[in-house]
C-alpha cells in the first residue's frame, strides 16, 4: 500500500522519472495520516467501549479474566511495578511490555470468550456509523425494489440491534 502511494506521489513506476509535486506530496501525506489515525482511533474506541461494557457486567468481566489467566498463566504471574510518582515515567510501561513480549499469537487464538466479547462490543458499538455500496443487480429487500446501480447506505449500528 505504501509503495502504491509513493509511486502515485512521484507519478510513475520509477521515482526518478517525475519529481513529486507539492499537491501530490500533501495528498499522500493526508492519506497516510488518515490510515495511521484510523488504526489508532478504532482500536482506542473498541477498547473504551469494551472496558465500559465489562464494568457494567461484572460476571462477564470475571469469566473473561478467568480465561485470560488460564491461557496466559505464565504472563499473568508477573508482579506489576508500583505506580511511579510521575505518571509519565516510562518505567511503568515496562510491566506491560514484558507481558506483551510473552504473549504468542496461538495463545490469543485460544481465547474464544475474549473473541466473543470483542465481537459483541463491535455489534453494540460498531466503529463505522455507516457505509455505502452500489447494488450490482436488481434486488428486492423486504418488499422494496432496489434497481441495479442504486447506492445503498448500510448502518451497522441499526443492524446490530
pLDDT tens, position by position, 70-82: 888 766 455 555 5
95 in Cβ contact with 76 (< 8 Å): no
153 in Cβ contact with 134 (< 8 Å): no
Question: How far is it, in rounded angstroms, from Cα 138 to Cα 145?
Answer: 7
Q: What is the pLDDT of residues 111-147, one digit of tens each?
A: 999 999 999 999 999 988 888 889 999 999 999 999 9
pLDDT tier for residue 44 given thresholds of 50, 70 and 90: confident
Answer whether residue 32 shows pLDDT above 80: no
pLDDT tier for residue 59 given thresholds of 50, 70 and 90: very high
Percentage of the chain exceeding pLDDT 90:
35
DSSP 3-state assignment of 141?
A: strand
The mean per-residue pLDDT over the stretch 6-35 comes to 61
Question: How far is it, in rounded angstroms, from Cα 53 to Cα 118?
Answer: 10
Percentage of the chain exceeding pLDDT 70:
59
In total, the chain counts a number of residues equal to 161
pLDDT tier for residue 88 given thresholds of 50, 70 and 90: low
| Strands annotated E in 11-150 | 131-134, 139-141, 144-146
Which tops the pLDDT comparison, 114 or 105? Answer: 114
Answer whether residue 89 shows pLDDT above 70: no
Question: How far is it, in rounded angstroms, from Cα 82 to Cα 97?
Answer: 15
What does the pLDDT read at residue 147? 96
With 0.85 as the threshold, say if the pTM is over it: no
What does the pLDDT read at residue 56? 97
The mean per-residue pLDDT over the stretch 79-103 comes to 56
Amino acid at each position: 500500500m505504501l509503495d502504491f502511494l509513493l509511486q502515485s506521489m512521484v507519478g510513475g513506476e520509477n521515482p526518478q522519472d517525475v519529481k513529486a509535486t507539492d499537491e501530490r506530496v500533501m495528498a499522500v501525506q493526508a492519506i497516510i495520516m488518515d490510515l495511521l489515525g484510523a488504526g489508532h482511533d478504532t482500536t482506542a474506541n473498541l477498547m473504551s467501549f469494551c472496558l465500559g461494557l465489562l464494568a457494567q457486567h461484572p460476571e462477564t468481566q470475571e469469566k473473561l479474566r478467568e480465561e485470560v489467566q488460564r491461557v496466559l498463566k505464565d504472563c499473568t504471574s508477573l508482579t506489576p511495578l508500583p505506580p511511579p510518582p510521575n505518571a509519565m515515567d516510562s518505567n511503568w510501561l515496562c510491566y506491560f511490555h514484558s507481558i506483551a513480549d510473552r504473549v504468542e499469537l496461538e495463545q490469543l487464538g485460544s481465547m474464544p470468550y475474549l473473541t466473543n466479547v470483542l465481537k459483541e462490543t463491535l455489534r453494540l458499538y460498531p466503529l463505522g456509523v455507516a457505509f455505502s455500496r452500489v447494488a450490482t443487480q436488481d434486488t428486492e429487500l423486504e418488499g422494496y425494489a432496489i434497481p441495479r446501480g442504486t447506492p445503498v447506505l448500510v448502518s451497522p449500528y441499526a443492524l446490530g440491534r
